[in-house]
Each structure stands twice: as C-alpha cells, then as structure tokens.
Structure 1
C-alpha cells in the first residue's frame, strides 16, 4: 500500500517542524531512537502500537500521517444558459470562490442596473465588454480586468455587435445572481 510509504516521511516532517530531534521524540513516546529512525526511513513497518504514542506526543492524529484522498481535480458541471448568456462553471460547486467563464451575446443591451452584496472581479478574454457601474459607462477590451463592489448599481453586456467572453469571480450571492437571476 503506497499510502503507508508516506507515513515515515510525514512523521519526520512533523517532528522536524517542532524542532525535535529523534532522541527528543523517541524519549517522549517511550521508544528507542533507532526504532523511530527506522520508522521514519521506511525500514520498519508502521503499526498502531508505534504510531499512537508518537502522534499523541506530536499533537496530531494518525490520519494526519496518511495522504489525502486523491480526488479528481477536473470540474464537471453543466453549462448554464440564461437570458442569452452562456455561463460555464470553472470551479467545483462547493468552492470558496465562484469562478465562471461567461459569454455575453453581441447586440444585446444590458438590463437595468442591479446590486447585491459582495465583490466581483472580471477579466476579458475576447471581445469588448460594457460595464455600467454607478455613473460610469466603461468599455473593457481583451486583456483588461475590473474589480468592483457589487453594492454599486451595475450592469454588464457585450459592447458592439460581437460576443464578449470573460472570466468572472464573485461571492456566493453574485454567483446566485448570475446563474439563477433575481427570481
């Protein structure tokens, strides 16, 4: 089991992070320094009998010495189509930051200015984007970015007759507003 191969090196890393020598930890855990050395180097099989006193002294759980379960890092969420927008999720649904690639259709006037709690950050991938923000009416081109407080009335649309693609990052309320509307 490859998981067990990582126990020794992880044990050593925790010990060293505490600034302890082999002798320090071995003495506190009631075992010989050579046993601990063999355990850390993988020359001795890890067992609960050996690990429990070590983890107690280090203030960690046995689970902390095992590798995290490898999860598939790919994001496989369906594209959302709403009000002419194509919204492709770029982060898992439970991610701390909501990240989307949004395509705004060309030739469509922006809706009325809206507000919601939070901040939004966006980056223009292609096309030209119109950002109405309070009294400002801005056009952003490819490679330009903007960050703003979403409590300021705002509306976003493609500028001109062509679509605009952006990467947009916002909080949970912003994600709900963009993916579900205000209903």
Structure 2
C-alpha cells in the first residue's frame, strides 16, 4: 500500500491532531472505559489507541468510525465539528474537508440524534486499498466521479460513476480507487450508538 505521507503530503506518524486527540481521551474517560477496554472494542492495541489520544499518530477514517461507534457518538463530534443539532441543511461552505489517512471527506448531513451518518468522500489512488473493514451495521455508497473497486467477501466489483452498492458491513469489505485519478463518492453508514458495539478489523488491517 502506498505511504499516506506521499499521498497527503505529510507524515501521519508525527503530525499531531490537537482537536482529535483530546476528544478521544475525553470521550473514553466519559464513557468509563479503560484504555485496554476501549482499544479491544475498537479492534486496536492499547498502545495504538494511546498514540491516537496523545496525538502521536493520526487516525484513519475507519478508525474514527470505529471509535465513534464504541463511544456512541459521531466522527463530527470526535473532530469537534458538530453542527447545530438536527440542522436539516448542510451548506457547502460549512462542509470543510477533513483528511484522514489519505482519504478526504466532507460532512453531507447532520448526524446528531440520527440513525445514520452521510459523508462525501474523496478516495485518492493507492490510499487504504488493503484495509479490510468489518463492523456491525449497513453501508451505502454511490460513485460520483472516477471508478471505485469494492471488495465484498471474495467478490470484487468495479463501480462506475452513477453506480451504487448497499451491503451488510459485517461482510469483510475493502474500498479503493480503481484509477489513477481517484474516486469521489457519497458514503452513508448506520450509527450504532451502544458502547458494546465493536469494530472488528482482522490482524494486519492497519499495516502501511
């Protein structure tokens, strides 16, 4: 897999995230979870979660999604960018891009008190292509631009602009741009707010 530093123009191993790191620590403590318990539920090692909480490692979008499920919150809250509660309109000017491990995403709906979270995601070529995702819930994706390679279990599908996919996210899945120009998609996932829900990533899923 390509080094995210080459894709995003920075080194995620050393770049601190002053907004995300304190939020991760505060939410974990607020839920009464030890570092070990929260890490186990998110499919991370305690050392890895500790580095995320101290800003010594940048979390990927799948990690943020998993931690949001564990803490019963949303990626927006983790980033300290929660919009006004139940605001039905998301203005383009307010949907500022956020980069996580090579992917760039923008909020596409208000998730406060909702059962799902919509995002607009830009997937550069080579970013996160070998990361296998497995977690409770459902996902829906719709390709806006470029070509997207979707691996579902043993099957591989190449989605063209206008194509969509809707699947049970307990099925192991991978997402990657199928062309050098990358891909852009609408991405909707269900929010499972129980702190007992886990993001289960097979060993090696976070390798670079």
TM bucket, shorter chain: 0.5 to 0.7
Aligned residues: 108
Confirm or deny: 8 A CA contact 1:123 1:144 kept in the other structure. yes
Q: Secondary structure at the match of 1:122?
A: strand
Question: C-alpha separation between the residues in 2 aligned to 1:72 and 1:149?
Answer: 28
Query: Are 2:157 and 1:142 aligned?
Result: no
Task: Quote the offset at 1:153 in angstroms.
Answer: 0.4
**Structure 1 residue 144 displacement after superposition:** 0.3
Indicate the structure whose relative CO is greater, using CA pairs within 8 Å and at least 6 residues apart: 2
Relative to structure 1, is the Cα distance of residues 93 and 79 closer, same or farther in structure 2, using a 3 angstrom cutoff? farther
Give the match for residue 101 of structure 2: 83
Listed as ranges, the gaps of 5+ residues in structure 2 are 1-85, 193-197, 200-205
Map 1:1-183; keep pairs closer than 5 Å: 73-75=88-90, 76-94=94-112, 95-108=114-127, 110-172=129-191
CA 1:108–1:85 in 2, change beyond 3 Å: closer, same or farther? closer
What's the secondary structure of 1:81's corresponding residue?
Answer: strand
| TM-score of the superposed pair, with normalisation by structure 2 | 0.46
Evaluate the alpha carbon distance shift between residue 73 and residue 171 of structure 1 in structure 2; reply closer, same or farther with a 3 A threshold: closer
Q: Distance in 2 between matches of 1:119 and 1:93?
A: 15
Q: Which aligned segments of 4 or more residues in structure 1 are displaced greater than 4 angstroms?
A: none
Q: TM-score if structure 1 supplies the norm length?
A: 0.52
* C-alpha displacement of 1:120: 0.4
SS in 2 for 1:138: strand
**Unaligned ranges ≥5, structure 1:** 1-70
CA RMSD, Structure 1 to Structure 2 (Å): 2.7
Encode CA deviations 1:3-45: one digit per residue, 9 max, x unaligned: xxxxxxxxxxxxxxxxxxxxxxxxxxxxxxxxxxxxxxxxxxx
